[in-house]
Amino acid sequence: MGADLDHKNRYLQKVCEKERESYAAGKTQENKENSNGGQKQVKLPAILTTMHLTINLLCLLVLTFHLDLAMGGRSQRKQRQAEDSLRPYLGRVDPVQLCELLKCHSPMGSWCQVVQDNEVLVPKCVCPKTCPRQGAPVCSVLGKTYGNECLLHREACRKRRRIGLAHIGPCLVPKANCTEEEYGQFPYRLMDWFLLLSRMGKSYAPYALPQSCLSHTQRTQLAQRRFSLLDKNKDGKLSQRDLRKLRYKRMPLEQCANFFFQSCDHNKNSKVTLHEWISCLVDRSESWFQNFMSMQMGSGKLCPMKTDNHL
């Protein structure tokens, strides 16, 4: 289906291009004839101009429609591949467990549910039509609370968009103000959160170190990886738009985010470079923790444990 659509798209693009060239040639001829002084002004017949504009509009609409189909085709192809990869385990593995492994690409916004197919229970991505009133509230990555996960996916399907689940439970309402104490510990808490995100989806490792036991090099690597993930256009700078994406994930002490990232922009050009990012996060988080440990424990050491290379 994808190859078929690509072929049709190329054909339509050629047709539209020929129409534009034809119209451009007519306009060029019109301009040449009008450039001869003293001669009567010549214009393309109005019906031809209208016809060319109409064809261009139709080309645009048709190409947009085929692009939507192609995108839908790719999502459906990914969905089939995901379902086919689980097919050998049907009837041998608990379908609820298989559902946890199935990533839903199509329909847009759907979630995995166990359904009956030819008297066999199988995992399938579906859009919920009805949802129970009861259930645990959940928070989406957009910061909206839903009565349960089913309601989140029902709205996602209705809007034809993917809405990720941030966490179980209602979204936290950010405080209006950031206190001096919260502002001071914000870089450390943010690095702690980045460390948690970097370990999500990995198998449990009993040797995984807490942030307090990471070396300066390990902290720097952690900050660099997060910078790279946020820098979508790979220009080596984080814009305000890039930084705003962090807040959709409901970071800790969110009320301090604006003030903190503004302070990271040392030259006030509305961009944060990698050097500014590391200086802001790594250096300030270590400085805060050393001061905290000195006051609380009488020691400036970051970690009494022996560190290794595991993050």
Q: What percent of the chain has pLDDT over 70?
A: 63
Residue 124 three-state SS: strand
Contact between 199 and 218 (Cβ < 8 Å): no
pLDDT tens string 51-97? 555 555 555 555 544 444 444 578 889 899 988 888 888 888 898 98
For residue 307, the model assigns a pLDDT of: 44
Residue 114 three-state SS: strand
Binned at pLDDT 50, 70 and 90, residue 20 comes out as low
How far apart, in whole angstroms, are the C-alpha atoms of residue 47 and residue 64?
26
Structural tokens at position 299: 């020691």
For residue 14, the model assigns a pLDDT of: 64
- Which of 45-49, 246-250, 257-261, 300-304 is most confident? 257-261
Of 234, 233, 261, nearest to 246 by C-alpha is 261
Structural fold of domain 89-168: Wheat Germ Agglutinin (Isolectin 2); domain 1 (3.30.60)
Query: pTM of the full predicted structure?
Result: 0.44
Binned at pLDDT 50, 70 and 90, residue 298 comes out as low
**The Cα angle at residue 119 between residues 114 and 120, in degrees rounded to 5:** 45
For residue 66, the model assigns a pLDDT of: 47
Structural tokens at position 269: 């050009």
| Lowest mean pLDDT segment, chosen from 89-93, 155-159, 180-184, 291-295 | 291-295
Binned at pLDDT 50, 70 and 90, residue 256 comes out as confident
- Which of 37-41, 104-108, 169-173, 204-208 is most confident? 104-108
CATH class of 180-198+209-297: mainly alpha
For residue 259, the model assigns a pLDDT of: 84
Does pLDDT of 206 surpass 70? no
Contact between 150 and 140 (Cβ < 8 Å): no
Q: What is the CA radius of gyration of the chain?
A: 28
- Tell me the β-bridge partners of 126: 111
Structural tokens at position 35: 């450039």
Contact between 152 and 146 (Cβ < 8 Å): yes
Across residues 21-40, what is the average pLDDT? 56
For residue 242, the model assigns a pLDDT of: 84
Binned at pLDDT 50, 70 and 90, residue 295 comes out as low
Across residues 84-112, what is the average pLDDT? 89
Backbone angles phi, psi at 139, to 5 degrees: -115, 130
How far apart, in whole angstroms, are the C-alpha atoms of residue 52 and residue 21?
10
Residues in CB range of 190: below 8 A, 6 or more apart: 251, 252, 253, 260, 281, 285
Burial class (CB in 10 A: 0-12, 13-18, 19+), 306: exposed
Residues in CB range of 102: below 8 A, 6 or more apart: 82, 83, 86, 112, 123, 125
For residue 46, the model assigns a pLDDT of: 55
